[in-house]
Amino acid sequence: MDESSPYPPLEQATSLPGHIKVRLLYLTESPRHLRNALLAQHGAKGPFAEEVSILMPAMKVFPILECFLPAFESLLRSGIVPLDSIFHGYEITEGDSLTIAYIP
């Protein structure tokens, strides 16, 4: 996370009543996941595929990419995903009770 961000840090949780966990997929030239950072360190070139989980109110989750853009932009502003990231997909992760997710 970017410590110089003017935005407050986002809360995190593994679940929240009335919310659905969604995995946002993005491409970046500035990897943050350990696997991709090690690949870059050893000369691999990007873009690197990375992901981040969020919790969204169930009433705002629809099977179209555009409904997740505001949440992704919130992650960009907060410095959770690199500014050069390009959002390219999502997965609704039903049954995942272990992964920590951001609440944008």
SS3 23: strand
* Domain chopping of the chain, boundaries: 11-103
Q: What is the DSSP string of 26-46?
A: EEESS--SHHHHHHHHTT--S
pLDDT above 70 for 13: yes
Least confident piece of the model among 1-15, 17-31, 55-69, 82-96: 1-15
pLDDT confidence of 97, banded at 50, 70, 90?
confident
Strands (E), the chain: 11-13, 19-28, 48-57, 86-92, 101-103
What is the pLDDT, as a whole number, of residue 88?
A: 94
What is the pLDDT, as a whole number, of residue 1?
A: 46
pLDDT above 60 for 3: no
